[in-house]
Amino acid sequence: MPAIAWTAISEHDTLSVAQLKALQGWGHVLVAGYCAVADCMKGLYTRGYCQYHYDYLRRRGQLPPLQKRQHTDGPCKFEGCPTKVYAKEMCNAHYQQARRGSVLAGVDSWKIPEGAVCTAPECDRPQYSLARCRTHYQQQSEGRPLTSLPAPRAAPDGSCQVAACTRTAEDAAQGDVLCLSHGVMERRGSALVPLVARTPTERLPELLARGVYWCTVCQRELPVDRFVRDHQRDGAPRSRCRSCSGKLTRANKFNISFAGLDRLFAFQGQRCAVCRTKPPHIDGLNLDHDHNCCPDKGRSCGKCVRGLLCWNCNAGVVTWYERLRGTVPPYPLFDEYLDRPPAARLGLTAGGTQP
């Protein structure tokens, strides 16, 4: 164990914390109640050290080197990159390149070319990363085989019928004539007013001072705690509230429209399709689909979506009955749900008829 230089300071001496931190090198300072290592103001554990430095010295025979303080107030060290430092004197993009062991390159050089499509067989979806679309990239990153994907839904025809709105109708196949946000406003019973596409930067301090933020989907000011914070934007709230973001994620995963999810929720009386439990909002229900058609958890082709169920019915009762159907006494309520699911009766899935 190396020799240690001690300077005994009693608890009556008047050195401030700033003066203690200004001491350089390994000339350790023993202060009543504090670790002896310079720049460490943790409480004493034993033999003049905090627990971390005592354990480090006991196991390795020396103290850890002084850590150089990170400065994040300048530009990235990569030549010509003006982006703010994220870590190791690099911006986030170049730091991730260095972390993966890649050669540092200009950010623009690895952007996806405009119009590039996925390189997986028989896939013409736009590239997301590593020359794959989002779904094939996810399959590749998880080590799963690349599978053929269902054809994407046809793009909606026509534009939103609200004056001065340039967005397209969300789901023309279902007869929609409104865009996503105006459709939400109509189903909520609000007046169809021009959309606020994004919150102006100059309004951000004023909104946050009032504890609210603007959702670009449901077009409402909501409490700021109903938004996820985006750490890539210095902790600013994201543009969609938690509820709208969750519904959009589910709608995309199960290949139905946002409006279709709302219509299904209203068709079921805002209750579970089996036990009729009424949650506070749609987030309390799971979207159920036929796993014999699409076995992947949480994904569906859209044609096998059945309805919205509470967690107990989705994960327990219906799953159990469907697996043992034919070997247990029939239960009319479950048979009705499995044979004529709400989504089919509403006409959201192929072959469904309007009630």
| pLDDT tens profile 231-246 | 766 777 888 888 888 8
pLDDT at 233: 67
pLDDT at 1: 40
Range of lowest pLDDT (158-167, 208-217, 313-322): 158-167
Q: Which residue type, as a one-letter code, is found at position 151?
A: A
CA distance linking residue 282 with residue 261, whole number of Å: 9
3-state secondary structure at position 288: strand
pLDDT tens per residue, range 290-341: 888 887 776 788 888 889 999 888 888 888 888 888 888 888 888 888 888 8
pLDDT at 280: 81
Structure tokens belonging to residue 47: 């033999």
CA distance linking residue 63 with residue 35, whole number of Å: 12
Mean pLDDT of 30-51: 76
Neighbours of 10 (CB within 10 A): 8
Mean pLDDT of the chain: 77
**Where residue 152 falls among pLDDT bands split at 50, 70, 90?**
low
| φ, ψ (nearest 5 deg) of residue 289 | -140, 170
Continuous segment of H or E residues that includes residue 58: helix 51-60
pLDDT at 108: 65
pLDDT at 331: 84
Q: Which residue type, as a one-letter code, is found at position 304?
A: C
pLDDT tens per residue, range 85-97: 888 888 888 888 8
pLDDT at 109: 57
| φ, ψ (nearest 5 deg) of residue 69 | -70, 135
Q: Does the pLDDT at position 34 exceed 50?
A: yes
| pTM value > 0.85 | no
**Where residue 67 falls among pLDDT bands split at 50, 70, 90?**
low
Q: Does the pLDDT at position 25 exceed 50?
A: no
CA distance linking residue 35 with residue 55, whole number of Å: 13
